Amino acid sequence: MRDPVLTFTDRGIYCPAGDFFIDPWRPVDRALITHGHADHARSGHARYLATHAAGPVMRHRLGEIVIEGADYGETLRLGDAIVSFHPAGHIPGSAQIRVEVGGEVWVVSGDYKLLDDGLSEPFEPVRCHTFISECTFGLPVFKWTAQEVVARDLNDWWRGCVAEGRTAILGAYSLGKAQRLMRMLDAEIGPILTHGAVEGTNRVLRDQGLSLPDTVPVTPETKIKDHPGALVLAPPAALGSAWARRFGPASTGFASGWMRLRGVRRRRAADRGFVISDHADWPGLLQAITDTGAENVYVTHGYTDIFARWLNDRGWNAKVLPTEFGGDEDEAEAAA
Amino acid sequence: MKDFAQLITTIDQTTKTSLKTKALAEYFTRAPDDDKLWTIALFSGRRPKRAVNTTQLREWAAERAGLPLWLLEESYPIVGDLAETIALILPKAEGSSDRSLTHWINFLRALSQAPQEDRKPQILAAWDELDDTERFLFNKLITGGWRIGVSQKLMTRALAEATGQDEASLAHRLMGGWTPDDVSYHNLIEAEDKAADLSRPYPFYLAYQLADGPDPLGDPGDWQAEWKWDGIRGQLILRMGEHHVWSRGEELMTDRFPELARARDFLPDGTVLDGEIVAWDGTQPLPFNTLQKRIGRKTVPKKLLTEAPVILLAYDLLEADGKDLRDTPLRDRRAALKKLIDPLPADAPLRVSEAIDFADWEALAQTRATARDRRAEGLMLKRLDSPYLAGRKKGDWWKWKLDPLTIDAVMIYAQQGHGRRANLFTDFTFAVWDGDALVPFTKAYSGLTDAEFGKITAWVRKNTQQRFGPVRQVTPHHVFEIAFEGIQESPRHKSGVALRFPRMSRWRHDKPLAEANTLDDLKAILSAYG
Ligand SMILES: [Zn+2]
Ligand SMILES: [Zn+2]
């Protein structure tokens, strides 16, 4: 019997035919990376391969690395494997990785969402025999609201803050979510101030040609009274910290898929929770999996046991993929 | 219900008590009387009679959502609330409506009288005209359990703001056995109080824990010390030839403790006592687990009445000859209490909880150290000239509890939390060493900060050895100090012991696995304090 297209090792997902790993969590010789989030792109690998669009952020976060770039859809031959990257819609540059060996096709989804956020390359379904899917929000209670509706709520909240003389401080993950939110904000309301972590990513993305609204980086000299009506974008950990105190009376908002749950909303102790996620919701997961035409599904991240059982009920051959991931961005948001 | 939903959303969206109070006060100013009355009822633990049971509700919701029932059942513990789970899985409503809170309550009450086969289509139709928040609230009306961050106290304050009435007298009006069926908003809140329900207790005076010992309290001569008994705090009310027993949680417990009915034979009408209900062996309290057999039983079998008889250890006299004594200094209330109860025969179900003589704070500290032998949790310190206040107040009354017992234990199983902590591992099983084996002896859920729960969650994900449904067996590695209030023998537990109020008091990063405590250590605590 020949090897499966991909195998699961203690270093991560491995392709024996092509001798490479996908999003490995321990140092390897050759790592194919779905996207730049910390739980997928780790340091210490000898060689990296990712989309051209993902490269700059990875360099920004991981420092000097040996990285090759690929275009979306470009076919690469690695050993006996044929490999290509396809848009995952998760964050700019994010990809699903297609691996074909001897006519059998497997796809590793990385993180993905179906909704076109106007910023990331929109998700494209890829036909395959076996699909390795994330399921961070793999419960039927997770259903996202349309982006326009969230945008309206967000801007209403900001306007309300301006009217009450409060600074709006919005917590969001600094790569992807923050830039998506920036584009949802109504620049007429006031200036957008950014935390260094957010601005660092902004700079990288602007340099590679993405259009983002103007922002004002917060420095130790920044005085909030020079920026009336401001909204501050910061990573979740900065909310409630000494850093946030300089903005005077404030209302805090928080943007994450977890905000769908009232309990989590209340634990975050933010004034407002906005349900907005860069992961697929329940209907999205089901649609993505259906569209691949795959018979076999491995699920990872999130409520994997429940989601796999449900897929099995519905006729898929589904299994839980054991992973060692530390702090997916959305989990980190909720746990932070 | 849009108004009510807006209120709940506003309350949910802020963590500041002042803003919650403001939102509620505004609602009380503008809502119609019947909605106000129901809002007060809901926030004080009253709800309409259950029209459909939760099993039906789950089945109908799963069917409407096109999901297998098990999937709803698996989602529920993660969301932490059935009403919310159902609201979230249902498909988007087709229609919308703006009927009042009272309309929906009456709808549910009518439904409880309707034939079974009519109930499902009516519930489905209701779901289809309510948005997410309204649906959640509608389901809440059925399932009950309003944990929405509004305590009765907060509600009372908002009501006081909205009506201009005194908060304490409103609190008194809201106590007792009223329902929205037998009282109107006007009669409950606005009318003169003389028709007040005679069963009503006074709001309990609650004490804070003394943080740094009694020295800052000044002259010991100004203070009364008593044991803090480990029972159920209660008020015994004798008025108009009847008696009523209330718990501190404002639950009417009269029928649970029939022994206390005999108080009527010994005490005059117009008497209200504050005290502790304890199981009694004739001279001292029995262990709490004896009393525990009585808790939760609405009627008491004869056998239990002889095995675990209760009495009231009276702390305070709040009313005598129908007169409210709460503004009288404790010193005088105490004297009146003793005069009333000390002469009673030994078979009366009443004793005065005696004050403790002490010369100075140091001597009192030594007495406190013996509390466990007395089956007490520690001491109470009350200023002799203090009035009986309402609610938790700092200054005149303090509890000075014993430090908890502790043991260092190894975490061996972890399970995900729910509600607020749905995506964290928060429920853990702990073990002690028995030779080379780890014997599980307790679970604990609380005591860590959110940041610590976050850390341990990441660790559990990486160190799962095996899964048993939702339970994960983890690599034995982390040692935690487990604090608890009591220990008793328990044949049901593998370790042979059961703890009272166990919680994680410290994450012992400093402690190697091998230095966690042993089963013998645990048994030594059992023989000393069990
Ligand atoms: Zn990601
Ligand atoms: Zn991820």
The DSSP secondary structure of A199-213, one letter per residue, reads HHHHHHHHHTT----
B457: which chain A residues are within 8 Å (Cβ-Cβ)?
331, 335
Q: Quick one: pLDDT at residue A329?
A: 42
Tell me, yes or no, if A153 comes closer than 8 A to chain B by beta carbon.
Answer: no
* A323: confidence class by pLDDT, cuts 50, 70, 90: low
A265: which chain B residues are within 8 Å (Cβ-Cβ)?
12
Q: How far apart are CA A317 and CA B506, in angstroms?
A: 44
Question: pLDDT tens digit string along A95-124?
Answer: 999 999 999 999 999 999 999 999 999 999
Judged against a pLDDT cut of 60, whether residue A335 lies above it is answered with no
Mean pLDDT by 10-residue block, N- to C-terminus, for chain B (530 residues)?
91 83 95 93 82 92 96 90 94 88 92 90 95 93 79 87 83 77 85 64 89 88 94 92 82 83 93 95 84 76 87 96 95 96 93 93 92 88 94 88 90 83 86 90 87 88 78 90 87 82 89 89 84
Residues within 5 Å of ion ligand 1, judged at the Cβ atom: A 37, 111
B195 dihedral zone (left: phi>0; alpha: psi -120 to 50; beta): alpha
For residue B285, the 8-state DSSP code is B
Question: pLDDT tens digit string along A187-215?
Answer: 999 999 999 999 999 999 999 999 999 99
Q: How far apart are CA B106 and CA B111, in angstroms?
A: 8
Judged against a pLDDT cut of 70, whether residue A331 lies above it is answered with no
pTM: predicted TM-score of the whole model, two decimal places: 0.72
Q: How far apart are CA A30 and CA A190, in angstroms?
A: 46
Dihedral sign computed on CA atoms, order A126, A128, A134, A139: positive
Q: Quick one: pLDDT at residue A324?
A: 57
Q: B405-529, superfamily in CATH?
A: Nucleic acid-binding proteins (2.40.50.140)
Question: pLDDT tens digit string along A149-172?
Answer: 999 999 999 999 999 999 999 999
Which of A261, A272, A312, A313 is the best substitution to test chain B (most B C-beta atoms within 10 A)? Answer: A261
The arithmetic mean of pLDDT across residues A304-329, rounded, is 81
Q: Quick one: pLDDT at residue B288?
A: 78
Output the 3-class SS for B116-133: HHHHHHHHHHHHCCCCHH
- Within 13 Å, how many C-alpha atoms sit on residue A68's CB side? 12
Is B422 close to A265, i.e. CB distance below 8 A? no
- The CATH number given to B2-143 is 1.10.3260.10
Q: How far apart are CA A190 and CA A183, in angstroms?
A: 13
CA distances from B467 to B114, B178, B473, B506 (A): 46, 49, 6, 26
Q: Quick one: pLDDT at residue B319?
A: 96
Is A263 close to B458, i.e. CB distance below 8 A? no
Q: Quick one: pLDDT at residue A47?
A: 97
A305: which chain B residues are within 8 Å (Cβ-Cβ)?
467, 469-470
B14: which chain A residues are within 8 Å (Cβ-Cβ)?
271
- The CATH number given to B205-401 is 3.30.470.30
Which of B74, B76, B134, B472 is the best substitution to test chain A (most A C-beta atoms within 10 A)? Answer: B74
Tell me, yes or no, if A265 comes closer than 8 A to chain B by beta carbon.
Answer: yes
Q: How far apart are CA A312 and CA A305, in angstroms?
A: 11
B149: which chain A residues are within 8 Å (Cβ-Cβ)?
266
Structure tokens given for A101 = 């060996």
Is A258 close to B423, i.e. CB distance below 8 A? yes
Tell me, yes or no, if A267 comes closer than 8 A to chain B by beta carbon.
Answer: yes
- What chain A holds in terms of domains, given with CATH numbers, is 7-141+279-326 (3.60.15.10), 147-274 (3.40.50.10710)
* Identity of the residue numbered A73: G
DSSP letters for A84-142: EEEE-SSSTT-EEEEEEETTEEEEE--S--SS--SSSPPP-----SEEEEEETT-STT-
* A227: confidence class by pLDDT, cuts 50, 70, 90: very high
Q: Where are the domains of chain B?
A: 2-143, 205-401, 405-529
Q: Which residues contact B422 (CB under 8 A, 6 or more apart)?
A: A261, A263, A264, B78, B79, B80, B416
Q: How far apart are CA B41 and CA A282, in angstroms?
A: 37
B483 dihedral zone (left: phi>0; alpha: psi -120 to 50; beta): beta
Tell me, yes or no, if A283 comes closer than 8 A to chain B by beta carbon.
Answer: no
Q: Quick one: pLDDT at residue A289?
A: 98
Q: How far apart are CA B461 and CA A325, in angstroms?
A: 8
Tell me, yes or no, if A274 comes closer than 8 A to chain B by beta carbon.
Answer: no
Whether B302 is a known active-site residue: answer no
Rounded distance from Cα A301 to ligand 2 centre (Å) = 7
